[in-house]
Structure 1
Amino acid sequence: MNITKINKIAVLGCGWLGLPLAKELIEDGYFVKGSTTTISKIAVLAAQHIDPFLVQLNPEIEGDDIQLFLDVDLLIINIPPGRHKGTENNYVTKMANIAKAVTNSPISKIIFISSSSVYPENCTEVAEETAIDEHTPSALSLFQAEEIFRNLKQIKTTVVRMSGLIGPERHPGRFFAGKENIPNGLAPVNLIHLVDCISIIKFIIEEEIWDETINAAAPDHPNKMDFYALASEKYNQSTAQFIAEKQNFKIVSSKKLIDKYGYQFKIPNLMEWLLQTPQS
């Protein structure tokens, strides 16, 4: 239920997470604008009652009127960096261009979807105050993007560092199926289901959790060998063969979200979820 002063929301990036998020926000009574980079998807957004905009970052902003898109109370930025090496600076430039446009808008709140990949694999638990991995270009570019929005004056930004995303069309049984001699089999997994991704974003809005950095990972961290063996079996794929070793790893802690703010995960136990979930 819409219990805050926020009425209009823009979701920048209506992909695997952004589209179902926008749909749920509309169901909750918000007016929602959504962006896509492809003209063919405009009709898809409109069919879900999302006010559709074509927004392309090349890295300059192109497409529909960006200021009209940003004429909202809250902006949710859901644009992941590219997976190709050497694109890190381009990503930071894209985010800087969005931030510049935001300064000419009525936006007062931002939720920036980041990743727990900003943390190093330091063989321990990582929390929001843990130093980021400054030696990995992708981690550094994500952190720089976070800082761009944190530093916007008169705008309250909350950063959500999500772990590996699983759910519809991202069944973990597909990730390593049939592969052999996969290293680091005893390392813990850091994952979060789409249901909780959406629920946490809505929780932040409803509870008015602003000017914060929040980790978002299921509190259950089974090792890769056990988890992906079961996932492959459930997905009817050849079992992934891991090496029983524990090298570099991290355990992403969501204790702040749970203990400080009282969030209850919808899918806290990943092994239990695998046992109960159908193929998807």
Structure 2
Amino acid sequence: MDINQIKRIAIIGCGWLGFPLAKHFQKNGYLVNGSTTNINKLQLLAENNIAPFLIQLPNTIDENSLAHFLNADLLIINVPPGRSEEKGANYGDKMEHLKTEVLKSNIKKIIFISSTSVYDENNGWHTEESNSFANTASGLRMLAAEKTFTAVKELDVTVIRMAGLIGPERHPGRFFAGKEAIPNGLVPVNLIHLEDCIGVIEQIINQSLWNQTFNAAAPTHPSKSDFYDLASRQLYNKRAQFIKEKKDFKIISADKIVSTGYQFKHPDLMQWLVQNHQN
């Protein structure tokens, strides 16, 4: 199936990333199915010409609704495991249930939105070939979820490991403003802007880059102290004061997606902060 055969896209998880992604594809001529766990969001999806579905994994009340949702040519899975143990506990069950239903459908292509949290803090670079993985509960859950789908030979699955997400309603200045003695101030940051999240996903589809894994992180990695202090001063006019130390860290390489011809819309994170503040 090439790009011309993809007419309808199903996006499970229309939150901060999924909703603008759905709007983007709808405006570009695709038919889009969008799922939410919030009944109050169904109208918002419909108002944006996105076919709305109320999907709550793994205990979907109406399996027919899930089957109708999966009536598409491409599925984008955008369901994070959650940071708390309580939220993440049944993440594996959710993904297994979804896989079972996908295999009953006509879907053959999947983009799985993962996270760079799967990588260990190895004090160096991570490419997609890295096998140094984090031993955290959330990282292990995400890695297992990737394999839930990539192990299915009948499916063409591409995994995108997203770095920390920034952009509208996720200004980085909200994290550390006014705080002091914040540890690890000299470590590099790994972030990606919403517009590049959408851009990378679109690149995968346009170039038919299936059965691969891609890191998605801005190619610049300023220090934590430089970046978040500037962000904090911009948003709240308060300093974020870090300890000038460099302990455990990781740097995410985006060279692979760049090698496909993708050009980041926001490659320079410090410049983005300045421009964002001016606007």
Whether TM exceeds 0.5 here: the answer is yes
Residue range with higher mean Cα deviation, 190-199 or 175-184: 175-184
Alignment check: 8 A CA contact 1:4 1:206 kept: no
Partner in structure 2 of residue 62 of structure 1: 61
TM-score (norm 2): 0.96
Partner in structure 1 of residue 257 of structure 2: 257
Deviation of the 1:132 alpha carbon:
4.3
Partner in structure 2 of residue 106 of structure 1: 106
Alignment check: 8 A CA contact 2:215 2:257 kept: yes
Deviation of the 1:60 alpha carbon:
2.4
Structure number with higher helix proportion: 2
Local SS of the residue matching 2:120: coil
Q: Give the partner amino acid of 2:22.
A: A
Q: Is 1:12 aligned with 2:8? A: no
Kindly, what percent of the aligned residue pairs are identical? 54
Partner in structure 2 of residue 34 of structure 1: 34
Partner in structure 2 of residue 194 of structure 1: 194
Partner in structure 2 of residue 129 of structure 1: 129
Alignment check: 8 A CA contact 2:116 2:161 kept: yes
Deviation of the 1:278 alpha carbon:
3.1
Q: 1:3 to 1:159 in 2, by over 3 A?
A: closer
Partner in structure 1 of residue 152 of structure 2: 152
Local SS of the residue matching 1:232: helix
- Can you list the C-alpha shifts for 1:33-70, whole angstroms capped at 9, x where unaligned? 0001011110000000000000012x323356111100
Local SS of the residue matching 2:4: coil
Alignment check: 8 A CA contact 2:121 2:134 kept: no
Partner in structure 2 of residue 245 of structure 1: 245
Alignment check: 8 A CA contact 2:116 2:252 kept: yes
Deviation beyond 3 Å, 4+ runs, structure 1 = 86-89
Distance 1:87 1:202 in 2: 29
Deviation of the 1:8 alpha carbon:
0.8
Q: Give the partner amino acid of 1:95.
A: M
Partner in structure 2 of residue 277 of structure 1: 276
- Can you list the C-alpha shifts for 1:195-238, whole angstroms capped at 9, x where unaligned? 00011111111111100100000000000010111111111331
Q: Is 1:228 aligned with 2:257? A: no
Q: 1:3 to 1:96 in 2, by over 3 A?
A: closer
Distance 2:87 2:228 in 1: 30
Distance 2:13 2:88 in 1: 18
Distance 1:158 1:216 in 2: 13
TM-score (norm 1): 0.95
Q: Which runs of 5+ in 2 are unaligned?
A: none
Distance 1:251 1:4 in 2: 36
RMSD: 1.5
Deviation of the 1:133 alpha carbon:
2.4
Local SS of the residue matching 2:90: helix
Alignment check: 8 A CA contact 1:163 1:216 kept: yes
